[in-house]
Structure 1
């Protein structure tokens, strides 16, 4: 049971925030909460398709290859006792460059790779499935570099600048809009068109991301709240429950991601 990360080719680093291979054996009734983050998610499932849906809704679908946009509620992954796959975290720039679409149309959706054509072709999954872990990383990287060579137009510059500022240190939306020389309403329109989330939602997700990283690394919740930009621990807990569907303690008790080599 474990996972392993692999650094991407330098040319891919502005577009790929993370690349993780994982192989878990779990209780058959284990349900994993896919949490909101500042990255879009692409998953290649091996052995069994991913059984995934939104929140506490009963409906779910099965995916061998999945793209999930930015979101503000948890996805529920029914593990059925086993999870084996490769997961990519893409920046919004990566969505345009590697998937061929802006982040906005993918927001709050779970999309089969088949719907994205050459970006996530079925033949890529078929190539990856029988390979060793080392070869999977290599073949996927080659595919992404080839996609990068065909990248389309860049996103809206003001939206991208706003994204960088709101996902960095804690910032107020009106302050960032003023710095960029646009109204708060105009900035919201730009964000919805480019990312599918409002500037306020992006700032909240980024704050949650910071808090989750700190808490996962063992920082006490009161200190995490202050460092991540929450008013206090109660504020952190309320917002964490809204994004994760669980308390901070319950989230951190879910099956951990262990950075250890995978065999093969």
Structure 2
């Protein structure tokens, strides 16, 4: 387990190493206090988002206006699918919770549905999908005093979900397609992928979208963007200005402008704008260097 705090003791981020056979990619516990209220951008990634709030509901929406309005989504457990645009989340004066990045092909095992069924809303009530057991484990997490206890309880709960295994199985062609994209870090061609899994591009796209909610091309872009964002986070955490042109080249972008295009789509702002917004969180350890 790794703990990181910012200069202000009211910002705490604790990272745990998931031990769930690759189903969970990262786990972060967070607690902040005395914050200036505002909006946080929930950035798309090639992973599903699962949040158990320990201090009031998570409030957000697809736009800043929705997040701050009467029709905002309010839920104590967030379960988000793969998306192509940011979610806007209200940042209250104080908050606490645990956020997990879940492999999309683990959705059937952990949640009983394919990841494609989680992509309708940017912020989905996890209790509606996962049932009463999720609400009960959240109540247990709220009553525990330490992060290690909370991570252990949550891991145990997810292992029990996986053991029940009532969500059906992922088609092997889709599982191999995802693995191939991950090995190529989102830089492989869709033609090469379809030949690798011995399916036409059209058939592969249909099966892949039905399972994950995105096309192979969209998944590749998310992987590329995740890798670029990770590189930028590491530079900022080390106290250096990120070399965006170098990041673009290293991460398989055609040029710097294509990296900027993806940042604007996925974050709603430029790379420098996103870094300016997130610099304090990065330095405090909330991004943890990113996941790959």
Fold-level similarity (TM above 0.5): yes
Q: Contact 2:105–2:212 at 8 Å: present in 1 too?
A: no
Q: Contact 1:93–1:154 at 8 Å: present in 2 too?
A: no
Q: For 2:113, what is the secondary structure of its paired residue?
A: coil
- Match status 1:233 vs 2:243: no
- Match status 1:121 vs 2:134: yes
**C-alpha distance 256-108 of structure 1, shift in aligned 2 (>3 A):** farther
- Match status 1:143 vs 2:157: yes
Q: Contact 1:69–1:103 at 8 Å: present in 2 too?
A: yes
Q: Contact 1:55–1:73 at 8 Å: present in 2 too?
A: no
Tell me which moved more, 208-217 or 127-136. Answer: 127-136
Correspondences of 1:1-264 after superposition (within 5 Å): 1-9=11-19, 12-25=20-33, 27-58=35-66, 59-109=71-121, 110-118=123-131, 121-132=134-145, 133-152=147-166, 153-169=168-184, 170-218=187-235, 219-253=242-276, 254=278, 255-257=280-282, 258-259=284-285
Tell me which moved more, 34-43 or 133-142. Answer: 133-142
CA RMSD of aligned residues (A): 1.7
Question: How many Å apart are 1:57 and its aligned residue?
Answer: 4.7
Question: How many Å apart are 1:105 and its aligned residue?
Answer: 0.5
Question: How many Å apart are 1:120 and its aligned residue?
Answer: 5.2
**Counterparts of 2:64 and 2:160, CA distance in 1:** 38
Q: For 1:43, what is the secondary structure of its paired residue?
A: strand
**C-alpha distance 117-236 of structure 1, shift in aligned 2 (>3 A):** closer
**Counterparts of 2:133 and 2:228, CA distance in 1:** 32
**C-alpha distance 137-22 of structure 1, shift in aligned 2 (>3 A):** same
Q: Deviations over 1:28-82 (max 9, x none)?
A: 3321111110110000112221111113452421111110001110000111222
Return the TM-score normalized by structure 1.
0.92
Q: For 2:210, what is the secondary structure of its paired residue?
A: helix
**Counterparts of 1:204 and 1:108, CA distance in 2:** 20
Q: Contact 1:5–1:21 at 8 Å: present in 2 too?
A: yes
Q: For 2:253, what is the secondary structure of its paired residue?
A: coil
Matched residues, number: 258
**Counterparts of 1:217 and 1:208, CA distance in 2:** 14
Residue of structure 1 equivalent to 2:290 = none
Q: Deviations over 1:138-170 (max 9, x none)?
A: 111111111121123320111111111223321
Q: Contact 1:72–1:108 at 8 Å: present in 2 too?
A: no
**Counterparts of 1:26 and 1:32, CA distance in 2:** 16
**Counterparts of 2:250 and 2:28, CA distance in 1:** 27
